[in-house]
Structure 1
């Protein structure tokens, strides 16, 4: 009976060791894949999130400025197109 328990204990140790080894191999494979992906993506012409947000904010500010200028031009055009009162020289 004691021999059966020892045999079972040895089997459990082997299985646990194999599971630990497989987990380590899995972690190594994942790290290698991540490294290769970063290397491949790093070679492409991507921008960082911070750069993208900065350009997006600048574009929004430029759009706001363009809208303000458009409104000023429209107001000036309306003022210059308005009929001048008679008798006023200018």
Structure 2
């Protein structure tokens, strides 16, 4: 009888091992399905990927820095021009005739 109960326990252990393996397979398939569904939803929402966002952010930071440099250069040139004119640039610009805007 000892071999009979041992055999039953072995079969039960084998059954549990197979069930655990099947459960892991189902889990992997569910994860794959959820991931694919999530990607589909994100693609329909036009969500930006992290890499694209970081690239655009770096471009904006660089553009801001260049804008500050160009603003400083423009202010220096305006000051130099004002010195050459003997008055402030604002007054010289106010007295200068304006060109008519073109309509397109």
Give the TM-score normalised by structure 2: 0.69
Residue in 1 that maps onto 2:52: 51
Residue in 1 that maps onto 2:80: 79
Residue segments in structure 1 that go unaligned for 5+ positions in a row: 85-90
Runs of 4+ off more than 3 Å: 80-84
| Deviation for aligned residue 1:80 | 3.7
Residue in 2 that maps onto 1:15: 16
Q: d(CA) in 2 for partners of 1:66 and 1:79? A: 20
| Deviation for aligned residue 1:54 | 2.5
Residue in 2 that maps onto 1:87: none
| Deviation for aligned residue 1:55 | 1.6
| Alignment partner of 1:37 is 2:38 | yes
Give the TM-score normalised by structure 1: 0.78
Q: d(CA) in 2 for partners of 1:44 and 1:80? A: 52
Which one scores higher on RCO, CA 8 angstroms, separation ≥ 6?
2
What is the number of equivalent residue pairs in this alignment?
84
